[in-house]
Amino acid sequence: MRGDVVQLGLNGEELVSVAQFVIDDSASLPVVFIRVIGVTVRARGEGGGLADATLEQVVNRSSKRLRTLGHSRVVLLGNVHADNTASQSMLTRAGFTVTERRTGPYVRWVLPVEY
């Protein structure tokens, strides 16, 4: 299975966050590639709480989906611009680590998850 997922975060009827990620279980170790996690300008200033919660939902949602398909582990990946300290802080708080792989100014972050 390979599929793109878009996740919207709402506060009442107001959009406050969005995430877009790809789940790929075509190999023996499934991969979730996080393409975007964003918080609206109006919702910023709440510290990293909203971004952290959005990322946590991505991890939980993708893990749950893969568990139902019989997988017991997954690797989450994301590329973050070297100057994007807010995103780097969010990933660090979530337990992601930096790999040596770079694509231009983007640094690869990884989080292996077993359940």
- Residue-wise pLDDT tens digits, 39-83: 888 777 765 688 999 999 999 999 999 999 999 999 999 999 999
Own/partner long-range contacts of 32-37 (Cβ < 8 Å, ≥24 apart): 32/58, 32/62, 32/66, 32/74, 32/75, 32/76, 32/77, 33/76, 33/77, 33/78, 34/58, 34/76, 34/77, 34/78, 35/78, 37/87, 37/90
Q: Quick one: average pLDDT of 72-95?
A: 95
Given pLDDT bands bounded at 50, 70 and 90, which one contains residue 35?
A: very high
Higher pLDDT, 6 or 2: 6
Distance, CA of 86 to CA of 56 (rounded, Å)? 16
Query: What distance in Å separates the CA atoms of residue 87 and residue 79, rounded to the nearest whole number?
Result: 10
Higher pLDDT, 30 or 14: 30
Q: What is residue 47's predicted lDDT score, i.e. its pLDDT?
A: 56
pLDDT of residue 36: 94
Q: The CATH number of the domain where 91 resides is what? A: 3.40.630.30
Identify the domain containing residue 83 by its residue range.
2-114
**Into how many domains does the chain fold?**
1
pTM of the entire predicted model? 0.88
